[in-house]
Amino acid sequence: MKEDYQKKLDEILERVSKKKKKQKLLLHACCGPCSSYVLEYLSKYFEITIYYYNPNIEPLEEFDKRVEELEKLVKTMPLQNKVEVVVEKEDPKVYHEAIKGHENDKEGGKRCYICYDLRMDKAASYAKKNKFDYFTTTLSISPYKNAGWLNEIGESLEKKYKIKYLYADFKKKNGYKRSIELSKEYNLYRQDYCGCAYSKKEAIERQKRKEIKDGVANIMSSRKSNDFKASYNDYNGFPFIKTVIVLFLLIVGIKIGFQYKDQIANFLTPSIAKPASQKIIEEEKHEIAQVNEYYFYGNHFNIKGTLETDGFDVNTIDLILVNDNDNYVYPLKYEVNSTGVVYYFSKELNGGIILDDIKVNDYNMYIRVMTSKKEVYYDLYNNTDYNTTTYYSMSKYNTKLLLQTDNNLLKLNVSNNTDTVYDIVIDPGHGGDDRGACLKKGYCEAENTLEMSKMLKTNLEKLGYKVYLTRETDKTLNRYGEDGRIALSYKAKGKYLFSIHMNSSSRPYTGYEIYAPYNINYDFIKNINNAIKKVGVVKPSNNKGFRITEGLYTRNFSDEDIEIVNSKCKDNPYTNISTETNYYFMIRETGGYMTGAYVDGREGNDGNSYRNSNVGLEAYIYEVGYVNKEDDYNKVMTSKEKYMEALAKSIHEELK
């Protein structure tokens, strides 16, 4: 079972908080940005000494720059208890001697483990010698560091030096995200590599590949077609390659083109080549790729899993859909670690691929790994709880996609759709007995959200979309149950949901607010936000809480929110929320497990029966203005037609 290091940390901090004497912590740190959140989090529990011991960091200018930023942070950041910085300089030869024989390991492999152990051992020794109560490291805040390894090393050093280790995975509770926010707040220098010469080399190579890939991607696709959308049926071999290279050189520049000509060749060769035919693939010896997660969110498909490469170098990894007549190739992102390869389309919910335009047929699914010398094909072994998943394309394609498990392997069937489905769901907030917020009697949210939702529906239908309203009259809608807002939204089989509301607050807030889900690519909703902003009558809200950018917000549960919910629902087995769970009901509950859907206990047994769905709507809440502020209310009433038209057109611009 995977260790819950956050739970271990919570238990230790609870004990520490009860101590009469303030405990002393030695905190090994690599830089200011990684230390920022950890200091904010732990300074109320400990007197902290930051121990900067990093012989891996090169060159010397980089070492000194990080020390300077760390000391600047400690001087300027308000901390609850005393914090000091100890800098331990060491000849980089110590590091190079320790990792000898592992110079060519991939980042995240054995070389990194040795490096962690070297630095943490020195920290534990210093902590023991100087009589600290605990020691730990900031390293686990990075999503690129193996928290399991770090805590394993910490546990062994605790036994070796007889000093308590503070277990932690600081990236939890949005720690990494918070460190980025604090880095911006204190204007900290954020390095683009771990610190050693090898990680810097890999960072440079990644940047080169990114420049090359971005240049080609600008030619091959656009945001409207999809992040990685590509059908290779229309490619015609070498003439197409020459065209791509010429266009690429024009975009990126002749200089860069010649500088990276070898990398360009390596990138193009596997990426635009058609996969082998179904017959040839069947004749190949197949490996097995584990599928640990797959889902549809909005109209994007994502898949995540692991595979083993038996040590060969990886150039590219693709998902392939193929039959005797057609084939489709979708490039995957991947990360290599000590145990193999982790593959995925995106780490963002709506960052996967669009499968809507695939031809009607049955498809086998494979992962193809391209090396410098060969192709290796992997069958997709389904490790998830979802044996069958149904997704309906946008209505202009009118297809039904069925992902099925055959002998534990994933297959895809695409057929013409004969079911009644919709593209977009519009949810008019409140209704019936629930009037929502009011300016005064007769000037309430419920009737206005219905009117505006109908306007939006009419505008979208003129643009060719099939649109469903959760309510078409002024009636009361339950949240849960088969006739509730959530079930109605799911039954419509929509891909996108817009919930129309009017805000209310006793604070001096005015203006519109758009609420978006957590962990998404914001491009889609940012463009919609910009279109609404251009109308100009109702300004973006002056509320700064949870704001991503002007007019656009994301709100998750806070620790305080979680305590309140759990106190009300302590007997409910489906309440499992964290600070990464979406706070607002219509966003959270319509996105299935991907957005943290749960049953909060107030609806009895008629809860969200779709809470575990791996098909979810990409949902947004549009608070058009503050209904209890007369000036805001009047502006909304005089410009609602303009806003609903702008919203419809901006949605169309993103989806067409």
Give the per-residue pLDDT at 231.
37
Q: What is the mean pLDDT of the chain?
A: 86
- The pairs formed by 437-441 with CB atoms below 8 angstroms and a separation of 24 or more are 437/502, 437/503, 437/504, 437/627, 437/628, 438/627, 438/628, 439/627, 439/628, 439/629, 439/630, 439/633
501-523 confidence digits (pLDDT tens): 999 999 999 999 999 999 999 99
42-63 confidence digits (pLDDT tens): 999 999 999 999 999 988 888 9
In angstroms, the Cα distances linking 72 to 25, 115, 185 are 20, 26, 13
Buried b (16+ CB within 10 A) or exposed e, 128-158: beeebbbbbbbbbbbeebbbebbbebbeebb
The amino acid sitting at 361 is: N
Residue ranges of domains in the chain, CATH in brackets: 5-195 (3.40.50.620), 201-272 (no CATH), 281-416 (2.60.40), 424-655 (3.40.630.40)
Residue 337 in tokens: 């670690």
- Partners of residue 365 on adjacent β-strands: 321
Read off the pLDDT of each residue in 21-49 and give the average, rounded to a whole number.
Answer: 94
- Partners of residue 302 on adjacent β-strands: 295
Is 50 exceeded by the pLDDT of residue 261?
A: no
How far does Cα 160 stand from its chain's mean position?
A: 39
Listing DSSP states for 312-331 in one string gives: ---SEEEEEEE-SS-EEEEE
195 confidence band (pLDDT: 50, 70, 90): confident
The residues, any chain, with a CB within 8 Å of residue 342's CB and separated by 6 or more, are: 304, 305, 306, 334, 335
The amino acid sitting at 491 is: K
1 confidence band (pLDDT: 50, 70, 90): very low
Read off the pLDDT of each residue in 155-160 and give the average, rounded to a whole number.
Answer: 95
Give the per-residue pLDDT at 270.
34
Name the DSSP letter for residue 140.
G
CB atoms within 10 A of CB 278: 18
How far does Cα 204 stand from its chain's mean position?
A: 24
Give the per-residue pLDDT at 595.
95
217 confidence band (pLDDT: 50, 70, 90): very low
Is 50 exceeded by the pLDDT of residue 7?
A: yes
By residue count, the chain amounts to: 656
Report CA Rg, the chain.
27
Whether omega for the bond prior to residue 270 falls within 30 degrees of 0, making it cis, is: no
**Residue in 411, 329, 409, 335 with CA at minimum distance from that of residue 375:** 329
The residues, any chain, with a CB within 8 Å of residue 134's CB and separated by 6 or more, are: 12, 23, 24, 25, 26, 46, 127, 163, 164, 165, 166
Is 70 exceeded by the pLDDT of residue 235?
A: no
Residue 463 in tokens: 């643009």
- Give the Cα separation of 488 and 395 in Å (integer): 18
Is 60 exceeded by the pLDDT of residue 457?
A: yes
Give the per-residue pLDDT at 600.
55
Give the per-residue pLDDT at 357.
93
- Partners of residue 498 on adjacent β-strands: 426, 620
Strand ranges (DSSP E) for 429-477? 467-469
Residue 484 in tokens: 């509730």
Read off the pLDDT of each residue in 601-627 and give the average, rounded to a whole number.
Answer: 85
Read off the pLDDT of each residue in 614-632 and give the average, rounded to a whole number.
Answer: 97
pTM of the model: 0.61
Give the per-residue pLDDT at 481.
85
Residue 590 in tokens: 């319509």
Is 50 exceeded by the pLDDT of residue 272?
A: no
Is 70 exceeded by the pLDDT of residue 250?
A: no
- Give the Cα separation of 333 and 228 in Å (integer): 10
Give the per-residue pLDDT at 486.
94
- Give the Cα separation of 576 and 345 in Å (integer): 26
Give the per-residue pLDDT at 226.
46
212 confidence band (pLDDT: 50, 70, 90): low
**Residue in 476, 390, 466 with CA at minimum distance from that of residue 426:** 466
Give the per-residue pLDDT at 275.
65
- How many CA atoms, within 13 angstroms, populate the side-chain half-sphere of residue 572? 20
CB atoms within 10 A of CB 289: 27
52-92 confidence digits (pLDDT tens): 999 999 888 889 999 999 999 999 999 888 899 999 988 88
CB 468 within 8 A of CB 590: no
Higher per-residue confidence, 494 vs 228: 494
**Residue in 42, 34, 3 with CA at minimum distance from that of residue 149:** 3
**Residue in 328, 90, 60, 320 with CA at minimum distance from that of residue 197:** 60
375 confidence band (pLDDT: 50, 70, 90): confident
**Residue in 79, 84, 146 with CA at minimum distance from that of residue 116:** 146
Sign of CA dihedral 89, 92, 94, 98: positive
Burial of 286 from C-beta contacts in 10 A (0-12 / 13-18 / 19+): middle
228 confidence band (pLDDT: 50, 70, 90): very low
Give the per-residue pLDDT at 566.
76
Higher per-residue confidence, 104 vs 333: 333
Give the per-residue pLDDT at 396.
94
If phi > 0 it is left, if psi is from -120 to 50 it is alpha, else beta; for residue 432 that is left
